[in-house]
Chains A and B, each alone.
Chain A
Amino acid sequence: MSAWAPELRVVLRPVSGYRELALEAEGRGEWLLLQRPLIHALLLGGFLSLVTTGRVVLPLALSTTVCWAFVPALQVAVVSAVTKLLRARPFPTPRLVDLYFAGNLPWSLWLLALSGTVVFLPSETPGLPLPSPGSLFPASLLAAALLSQVLTFGFFRGALGLTIPRSLAGLALHDALLWGSIALFFLLSDQLWPRLFGKIGI
């Protein structure tokens, strides 16, 4: 049996991979609810420590894990709400959340790749946050975002067994709630409108 995480199968074959995954894993325990969201929070913290200092500095990684844990927490809330609204809950919540987070792999790979450039490329580029060429950053971000859309669709279609129109509705609802909440967070804590619609973007 392969030692690789089952998420990799989902990336290669989103719908059928998710269908197989839904049949396979066990669905019990609160640990299942926390496991993948916690790994994602930890990955965010580790990523930020690596790109800042080139190392995992524990207090820094833990601080940033706690600060940014609101993102996976928000994802848990959103997937619970969307499946409730669609009346599509073939599994208990912990199992549902675990399956949904298997589709987060594009973001995980993106975070690993970017922090990998810091760890494996020897030097800093003066004045820039990452050593990788600047244009790779937006291009890879876009690729991760698009692939995660496909995987979230795969979750609704393959894991929950919804029809294509209901899966697309689930994806749209998921995106609206998730990105809407993140936008609201920054709207409340930051100056969003002039930066989105003003002349100057940075």
Chain B
Amino acid sequence: MISSRAVSGVLLGLGGLAGTLLDGVPPRPPLYRGGLQVLAADFHVHSFSADGALPPWELVLEARRRGLDAFAITNHAQVWAAKLGRWFSRRIGGPTVLVGEEITSWDYHLIAVGIEASVPWNQPATEAIEEVHRQGGVAIAAHPVAISWPAFEEAIDTLDGSEVLHPLVHVSPGGRPGLSAFYERGRSRGRPFAAVGSSDYHFGAGLGASRTYVFVRENRPASILESLRAGRTVVFDEEGVAHGDPALAALLESDPLPAESRPDRATVPSRAAGICGWLGLAGLVLLRSTRSRRGVASSAVR
């Protein structure tokens, strides 16, 4: 008799095979507006072995599925996983990985992008930003809702930008007003201040769901960092309202980019593959194995 575990294994195998075959991503041609290349980027992403679920190389592949041209791996207090992601991405031809860190202090979180060594966290935000700049990186206020404003009181003058879109806006009543108010304060200082949309990805489906459009000369880390410093970014928030450089936002509004790439998991083959894989996993967990059937039978005989 075929055991239910074996049937589950076959279902899982079939679901896995179909799921893998359906995983191809068509190549995306570079997009240009106003003489500059427009990159879709996510500058706040966590990986395994920090508190992100996916290892760095799988983040690179997931970024491809999500139509990202560049992203930063920004774990708390370490940069080695980001360097591993950068190495892998260079081997397979992108998307571009920037090495970063979410500097995680008692009263502020700060995204550093374009650094090579971890920045000490137990220091005021102004000093952390100084260290990021010394390493040639860019400093972005992470999810700066009202509770972290006091920590950025002085630091706002040296920040390169702030997250104006973050998943917080979907779950916290203070999210949207807090992020908007902080961004407006930053850009009222009369110097470039980049609008950034980030997913703060840890696991699940949201990589790149909040994203930043960066206008660059070329898709390389140095060029991306230069554009962030110059504030050449646009973010469309959850209502579709544009934030960032007004001239660049106008360019995208008059000549919109193609729809954001979303893996078409709603197609029939994709859903069938997903259901098949899920049923296989459920069977492995919930159905009795042949071994324990025999175990019961033999103990009953005894």
* B277 and A50 form a contact (CB under 8 A): yes
Return the CB mask of B192-231 against A: 1 if under 8 Å, else 0: 0000000111111110011000000000000000000000
* CB interface residues, A 180-202, toward B, < 8 Å: 185-186, 189-191, 194-195, 197-200, 202
Contact of A57 with B19 in the complex, beta carbons under 8 Å: yes
Considering only residues 264-302 of chain B, those with a C-beta below 8 Å from chain A are 265-266, 270-271, 273-275, 277-278, 280-282, 284-289, 291-296, 298-299
User: B135 in the interface, Cβ–Cβ < 8 Å?
Assistant: no
Q: Is the CB of B76 within 8 A of A191?
A: yes
Q: Do B170 and A127 touch across chains, with their CB atoms under 8 A apart?
A: yes
Interface size class of A (residues with CB under 8 A): 35 or more
| A87-136 with Cβ < 8 A to chain B | 105, 108-109, 112, 115-116, 118-120, 122-131, 134
Partner of B281, one of A46, A118, A120: A46
Determine the distance from Cα of A49 to Cα of B107 in the docked complex, in whole angstroms: 34
- A189 surroundings in chain B (CB, below 8 A): 49-50, 78
Name the residue in A52, A55, A134 with the highest tally of chain B Cβ atoms < 10 Å from its Cβ: A55
Q: Does B109 belong to the interface (CB within 8 Å)?
A: yes
**A39 with B285: in contact, given A49-B19, A191-B104 (CB under 8 Å)?**
yes
Contact partners of B22 in chain A: CB under 8 A: 55
Interface contact B106-A118, CB-CB below 8 Å: no
A200 and B170 form a contact (CB under 8 A)? no
Residue A1 lies at the interface, judged by CB distance under 8 Å to chain B: yes
Enumerate chain A residues within 8 angstroms of B206, measured Cβ to Cβ: 124, 127-129
Would you call B232 an interface residue if the criterion is a C-beta within 8 Å of the partner chain's C-beta atoms? no
- Distance to closest chain A CB from B131 (angstroms): 16
**Per-residue 0/1 for A1-37: is the Cβ within 8 Å of any B Cβ (1 yes, 0 no)?**
1111111100000000000000111100000100100
Closest to B167 in A: A127
Min distance, Cβ A99 to any Cβ of chain B, angstroms:
11
Binary contact track B161-183/A, C-beta < 8 Å → 1, others 0: 00000011111000000000000
